[in-house]
Amino acid sequence: MGHRKKNRNVGIVGIGETKFSSHREDVNQPEMINEAVRDALNDAGLSIDDVECVVHGNMELFEMIHQPDLWHTLGTGAYGKDAYRLTTGGTTGGTLVAAADNLVASGMYDVVLAIGFEKLQEGHTTGGITNMADPLWARKLQSGALTDSAAVKVIAEFGEERAKRAAMTYRIIMDKHACLNPNSHRAFGLDWDQMDDLIKNSPPLIGNLRLIHMCSQSDGACAMIFASEEKAKSITDKPVWVRDHICIHREETLNLCNNYYPNQTTHKFAAEKLYERNGITDPVEYFDVFEMYDPSAWWGMDWIRDFFLLKDDEHIKLIENKDIMIDGKIPINPSGGVIAANPIGATAMVRVAEAAKQIRGNAGPHQIPRQVNHALASSFGGTMWTILFMLEKELNW
Amino acid sequence: MNIEKDNQFVIEGKLALPYQYFSGRTGSRFLIRLRDDKKINGLKCNACNKVFVPPRSTCEICGETIQDNWVEVKDTGTVTGFTVVRYSEPHQPVKAPYILALIKLDGADTPFAHIVQGIAIENMKVGLKVKAKFAEKTTSTIMDINCFMPAG
pLDDT single digits (tens) A143-191 = 667 888 889 999 999 999 999 999 999 999 999 999 999 999 999 999 9
Beta-carbon-side half-sphere exposure of residue A106 (alpha carbons within 13 Å): 9
Report yes or no: B56 at the A interface, CB cutoff 8 Å: yes
pLDDT at A258: 47
| Cβ neighbours of B27 in A, within 8 Å | 28
Q: What would the mean pLDDT of A44-63 be, rounded to a whole number?
A: 94
| Cβ neighbours of B60 in A, within 8 Å | 73-74, 79
Under 8 Å between Cβ of A295 and A145: yes
Report yes or no: B81 at the A interface, CB cutoff 8 Å: no
Residue B18 to residue A136, Cβ atoms within 8 A: no
Report yes or no: A361 at the B interface, CB cutoff 8 Å: no
Q: Give the gap in angstroms from C-alpha B17 to the nearest C-alpha of chain A.
A: 6
Rounded to whole angstroms, the Cα distance separating A211 from A189 reads 16
Rounded to whole angstroms, the Cα distance separating A246 from A389 reads 7
User: Which residues 12-31 in chain A show a CB within 8 A of chain B?
Assistant: 23-31
Rounded to whole angstroms, the Cα distance separating A112 from A128 reads 29
Within 10 angstroms of residue B147's Cβ, the number of other Cβ atoms is 20
**ipTM above 0.90 for this complex:** no
All domains in chain A, ordered by first residue: 10-126+219-227 (3.40.47.10)
Interface probe for B, chosen from A18, A23, A28 (most Cβ of B below 10 Å), is: A28
pLDDT tens readout for residues B59-74: 988 889 999 999 999 9
pLDDT tens readout for residues A103-128: 999 999 999 999 999 998 888 777 77
pLDDT tens readout for residues A295-312: 999 999 999 999 999 999
pLDDT at A91: 95
Q: Which of A24, A124, A127 is facing B22, going by the closest CB pair?
A: A24
pLDDT at A257 over 50: no
Residue A64 to residue B58, Cβ atoms within 8 A: no
| Cβ neighbours of B23 in A, within 8 Å | 28
Rounded to whole angstroms, the Cα distance separating A210 from A339 reads 12
